[in-house]
């Protein structure tokens, strides 16, 4: 196994570890059902930079990097969706006040 193959393998494996970083944030958002303290700007900004790196990896046919950036974009996309959702519906859609006539 060459040095480049080892680096590619490590980069590919790191794609799974990204979920170890993002999953606690997702679970916390789902548990607390609120997102006042989460920065939507930071999450979306980070996702846009990762999307740029994903496009570059795809253009260069660098599949390990594309996998890592793809999982990162997906994870941040889920976090961004949850932030928007819980800011729109604090406590979730089931806790939304009902309108009675």
CA dihedral 18, 70, 50, 37 (to 10 degrees): -50
List pLDDT tens digits, range 52-89: 999 999 999 999 999 999 999 999 999 999 999 999 99
d(CA 68, CA 91): 32
pTM score of the predicted model? 0.84
Q: Higher pLDDT residue, 33 or 99? A: 33
The pLDDT of residue 62 is 92
Domains of the chain by start residue, with CATH: 12-91 (1.20.1280)
Contacts of 40 (CB under 8 A, 6+ apart): 80, 83, 84, 87
What are the backbone dihedrals phi and psi of residue 94, each rounded to the nearest 5 degrees, phi first?
-75, -20
Q: Which residues of 77-90 are buried (b: 16+ CB within 10 A; e: fewer)?
A: bbbbebbeebeeee
The pair of three-digit structure tokens given for residue 25, joined into one six-digit string: 């944030």
The pair of three-digit structure tokens given for residue 46, joined into one six-digit string: 């980070």
């Amino acid at each position: 196994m060459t040095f480049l193959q080892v680096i590619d393998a490590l980069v590919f494996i790191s794609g799974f570890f990204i979920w170890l970083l993002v999953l606690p944030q997702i679970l916390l958002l789902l548990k607390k059902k609120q997102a006042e303290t989460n920065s939507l700007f930071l999450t979306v900004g980070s996702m846009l930079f990762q999307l740029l790196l994903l496009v570059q990896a795809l253009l260069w046919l660098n599949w390990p990097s594309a996998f890592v950036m793809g999982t990162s974009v997906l994870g941040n996309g889920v976090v961004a969706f949850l932030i928007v959702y819980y800011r729109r519906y604090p406590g979730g859609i089931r806790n939304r006040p009902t309108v009675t006539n």
